[in-house]
Amino acid sequence: MCFTSKLSKLAKYFALTITFFLFFNFSGCSLSVPEPDENNKTLLIIPVETIQTLKKFIYTVNLTIENSSGKRIPHRIEPNPDIFFSYKSQLKPGKYKFIKLYAVAKPGFRVGKKKKLRIRDFDTVEFQLENGKATIIGKKLLIQQPERITGNNLKNLNRGERKHEIKNRKKKIEDRNKRLIKEGFRHVEMLELDDTFKVKLMDELKEVENFEKWKIIEHKISPPSEMVEKPVKEESEDY
């Protein structure tokens, strides 16, 4: 039995070692985009700046793209502070525009008091995609989330202490939300692609596999527009 137990432990050890090896040697590979071909005639590059104050983001950003025929194409963006862009391939050459934008909470979380928060009151961004060309939008999405209000671990408190702790957290959340409204906080904004971030973006794209196979077009957007979200007065009480 002892010998069998040792073999079992060794098997688990080798399995774990192989898992880490595969993860670092394959999952950890450099970024890549599709090569130009019949299925990927165009490449849309959306600059994305992510400001992360927590260990992970509690929501994704869902963008709706519409072509000249009115067909709507969904595109999901996973916030990641180490990646300065999101791309969409398999779009046919032609005219497109961004028409809807949502922050969608991950399971177990909320954005505001909702599972899905629509980003409203922004100017439509129109652009054209060309055959064999990678189009970089002349705007950037700024994605951020407020700091989380924490306190004493409720599991370690008695009934009276938990009630007092919850009351204190609600007060802290109310104060934070008032401050965010005063500061004009937005979960998602569309801003001008500034030169500083553009340099970071282009440096990263140079390292992306297959990107050099595309002819690059920098799409200029005029007149300037800004994406505005409703005030965060509806901020979730559990966040």
What digits encode the pLDDT tens for the residues 73-119? 999 999 999 999 999 999 999 999 999 999 998 888 888 677 888 88
22 occurs within a structural domain: no
5 occurs within a structural domain: no
Q: Do 140 and 66 fall within a single domain?
A: yes
77 occurs within a structural domain: yes
* pLDDT of res. 24: 35
Cβ neighbors of 165 (< 8 A, separation 6 or more) are 151, 152, 154, 157
**Which of 202, 206, 184, 205 shows the shortest CA–CA distance to 194?**
202
* Token couple for 39: 């299925």
46 occurs within a structural domain: yes
Cβ neighbors of 44 (< 8 A, separation 6 or more) are 65, 87, 88, 89, 91, 96, 127, 129, 134, 135, 137
13 occurs within a structural domain: no
Q: For the CA atoms of the chain, what is the radius of gyration?
A: 23
pTM listed for this prediction: 0.71
Q: Do 170 and 77 fall within a single domain?
A: no
Q: Do 74 and 167 fall within a single domain?
A: no
Distance from C-alpha of 158 to C-alpha of 82, rounded to nearest angstrom: 42
Could you tell me if 36 and 214 are in contact, meaning their C-beta atoms sit under 8 angstroms apart? yes
Q: Do 88 and 201 fall within a single domain?
A: yes
* pLDDT of res. 181: 67
* Token couple for 24: 């670092």
Which pairs from 22-30 meet CB under 8 Å and 24+ separation? 30/207, 30/208, 30/209
112 occurs within a structural domain: yes
Could you tell me if 148 and 239 are in contact, meaning their C-beta atoms sit under 8 angstroms apart? yes
Number of domains in the chain: 2
* pLDDT of res. 113: 73
Q: Do 226 and 163 fall within a single domain?
A: no
Q: Do 61 and 115 fall within a single domain?
A: yes
Could you tell me if 36 and 212 are in contact, meaning their C-beta atoms sit under 8 angstroms apart? no
* pLDDT of res. 55: 74
Q: Do 75 and 93 fall within a single domain?
A: yes
Q: Do 193 and 105 fall within a single domain?
A: yes
Q: Looking at the chain, list the stretches that DSSP marks H as alpha helix, in order from N- to C-terminal side.
A: 2-22, 159-183, 195-206
59 occurs within a structural domain: yes
Could you tell me if 127 and 135 are in contact, meaning their C-beta atoms sit under 8 angstroms apart? yes
Domain span at 228: 42-146+185-234
Q: Do 119 and 158 fall within a single domain?
A: no
Please work out, in degrees rounded to the nearest 5, the angle formed at the alpha carbon of residue 223 by the alpha carbons of 63 and 131: 55
Could you list the pLDDT tens digit for every one of the 239 residues in the chain? Answer: 554 554 455 454 444 444 433 333 433 457 899 999 999 999 999 999 998 776 788 899 999 999 999 999 999 999 999 999 999 999 999 999 999 999 998 888 888 677 888 887 677 789 999 999 999 999 999 998 777 767 777 777 787 878 887 888 788 777 767 776 676 667 788 888 999 999 999 999 999 999 999 999 998 765 444 434 444 443 433 43
Q: Do 131 and 227 fall within a single domain?
A: yes
Q: Do 131 and 203 fall within a single domain?
A: yes
Q: Do 136 and 200 fall within a single domain?
A: yes
Distance from C-alpha of 141 to C-alpha of 7, rounded to nearest angstrom: 52
